[in-house]
A and B are shown apart, each in its own frame.
Chain A
Amino acid sequence: MPSVSFEHIVKKYGEVKVLSGLNLAIDHSDFLVLLGPSGCGKTTLLNLLAGLVDVSSGRIMIGARDVTELDPKDRGLAMVFQSYALYPTKTVEGNLRFGLSALKLPREEADRRIKWAASLLQLEALMGRKPAQLSGGQRQRVAIGRALVKHADVLLFDEPLSNLDAKLRTEMRLEIKKLHEELKPTVVYVTHDQIEAMTMATKIAVMNGGEIQQFGTPDEVYEQPANLFVAGFIGSPAMNLIEASAVWDGERLSAIAADGLHFDLSGYDYCTRHPSQDQPIIIGMRPEHFVIGEPSSSAACSLQLPVRIVERTGSDAILSLSFGSLLIAVRIEPDRAARLKVGELVTVTYPRTKLNLFDAQSGRRL
């Protein structure tokens, strides 16, 4: 199972540059998720890897092979499409068999692989049916089966779950994760759904505007977002971002936000140099790290704010607290939320070690 790397990839459509000098490399058996809003270039990148679209310049490597100039069928890839893309006039078995047509396998080997994929994905009972006679989840399984029979080293997924309903999506998510753990292919998976990214990926590349904003493990991307875009994109509800300015107070660094709110920034692990006096910064706080109750010595700040909205989803609850013109989202226990009333004052603190600081000008993590 080979590694995949993109080197200085440029893709232009006429005058419009979709990707400009993109670099990205993943190891063998990695599950890479390309995550980003629509139009960020993630599907373009996948199509470039598949060979369905030609690069304007740059090089794509699969293992030690330069595949930039190869035809799609010669790249050793298999792809699952968002719309399933099953052949409507062929049966399920015919669909799987056509997936093998470029490989020119002997008949017995083809039969063996089709049987294997069918039993792996529980398609045996459906082999004689046409795609029109299948449900959405079954079609998706056939599409995955058609990719698996090739025994391709690299599997590509283009938003494969976005047409399924919520329940089926959760099931298929597990199933794809299981397949990856059993078969260990290298996977490149495009989605705009952060839950899919967080649950399945071993590596996430967050993209925006044709550039990779951050590349790392799901935990890195979530815990230490590299910039404001990633901080705002990953996490639901989104990270609370508050404008403030840095203040040196002897040897200790702190920050003052609107309303004179004071943040203790000591103990923050800077990845660049420390901010200078009066530098505008943005403080990011995840909703789930807030603690309700009186301040302790490890707290960065303590806020006493009125409750604006209470949203309960059963398994957890989100409080929206008014902070000036902003709303601050705080995740709390649902039974505690049940006792709160709108307008009631709540005291919350935020631990120093969980802070995220960004430079307000560049948007980068400090």
Chain B
Amino acid sequence: MSDIATVRPPVTATEASVEVMFPRAKKRIRGRSIAVLVFLTMAALFFCVPLYVLVVTSFKSMDQIREGAIFSLPRQWTIEPWIYAWSQACSGITCTGLRGGFWNSVAILFPSLIASISLSAVTGYALALWNVRWTGAFLFLLFLCAFVPFQIIMYPLIVITVGMGIYGTLWAVAFIHTVLSMPVLTLIFRNYYKDIPADLTKAAIMDSGSFWQIFVEIILPMSGNILIVVLIMQVTHIWNDYLIGVTFGGLGAAPMTVNLANMVTVSTGTVAYNANMAAALLTAIPPLFIYFLLGKFFVQGIAAGAIKG
């Protein structure tokens, strides 16, 4: 309502006699709003202060860090810790920085993303829009699967991947990521496709009748929003995962998170706080980047124009 003044054309001298102004009482900030504002500020600080420390520390030299003033800005900004973390820091006995872990994570991320999203999108589409026998029971089963903790089925999964001959490789990590995210993703896609107007599906069935043609030409172009949501969810989830990576990746296929953990948990020598902070930030950047990149592509109204306004 406060925008009302900006919508009105400016009152010129000739119009002034015609234009009647209706003064409005200014909105006062009430006690309750102040409480909310204070709470939000505290919550923001709660997250921002550690982040601030993380960022400034990563640009400090070790000499300044030893002085102990963790909130002070770096006297001399240096990117030395970042370079060290990326290419020279030791995790265990190998001293090649986070590079290896980064590329491992990338190599795990893409197959897992493609397999999990494409499989669950097609499954969700079939369950939502086609007559599948036992749909209800199947959905209930998926729902249950979504709540099974990974730790319970960890050992059987190891046996399975060993049997498949992929244990200890990137493929094992990607495979487990795909399998474990299928139930939730399928439910998400199914619920999204269920809201597509029934007449639209009927029309497509009469026009084409082909399962794949309808999916590719009609349904997939309407899935932009949910694909972006799922993509963000999966990128964050897969990139930040530690447990699956450390369990199935073995030595050669450890993702970035495992690499980072090995790097910062040294029990001998000095702790290179600045390099550790830089390494942590390096690990956290890719999902953030994806988030900002994809957030722009949200569009409104999947079925705009399909049915009556």
Contact = CB atoms under 8 A, between A and B. Distances in A.
Contacts of A82: 199
A85 B213 contact: no
A136 interface: yes
B49 to A, nearest CB: 46
A84 B304 CA distance: 12
B207 A102 contact: yes
A101 interface: yes
Contacts of B295: none
Interface in B1-54: none
In the complex, which range does the number of interface residues on chain A fall in? 35 or more
B55 to A, nearest CB: 42
A33 to B, nearest CB: 20
A79 interface: yes
Given A72-B205, A79-B203, A98-B217, A88 B210 contact: no
B138 to A, nearest CB: 20
Contacts of A89: 218, 221-222
Contacts of B217: 87, 90, 98, 101
Contacts of A86: 200, 305-307
Interface in A73-96: 73-74, 77-79, 81-90
A82 B198 CA distance: 11
Contact of B205 (A52, A88, A163): A52
B199 A83 contact: yes
Contacts of B197: 83, 85
Contact of A136 (B205, B206, B308): B308
B252 interface: no
Given A52-B202, A81-B202, A88-B222, A101 B307 contact: no
Contacts of B301: 132
Contacts of B209: 71-74, 102
B203 A134 contact: no
A42 interface: no
A299 B213 CA distance: 67
Which of B199, B222, B305, B307 has most A Cβ within 10 Å? Answer: B305
Query: Which range holds the interface residue count of chain B?
Result: 20 to 34
Contact of A50 (B206, B302, B306): B206
A84 B210 contact: no
Given A83-B199, A85-B203, A98 B308 contact: no
B200 A131 contact: no
A130 interface: yes
Interface in B161-219: 197, 199-200, 202-210, 213, 217-218
Given A72-B209, A81-B199, A82-B199, A88 B309 contact: no
B303 interface: yes
A72 B206 contact: yes
B199 A139 contact: no
Given A98-B217, A131-B306, A85 B208 contact: no
A50 B209 CA distance: 12
Contacts of A83: 197, 199, 306-308
Interface string A123-137: 000000011111010
A85 B209 CA distance: 15
Nearest to A156: B206
Contact of B208 (A101, A134, A139): A101
Interface string A274-296: 00000000000000000000000
A-B interface, 4 closest residue pairs, ranked by CB to CB distance from nearest: A132-B305, A131-B305, A73-B209, A89-B221
26 contacts: A50-B202, A72-B205, A73-B207, A78-B206, A79-B206, A81-B199, A82-B199, A83-B306, A84-B199, A84-B307, A85-B197, A85-B307, A86-B305, A88-B222, A88-B302, A89-B218, A98-B217, A98-B218, A101-B208, A101-B210, A102-B209, A130-B305, A131-B304, A131-B306, A132-B304, A146-B203
Interface of B: 197, 199-200, 202-210, 213, 217-218, 221-222, 301-309
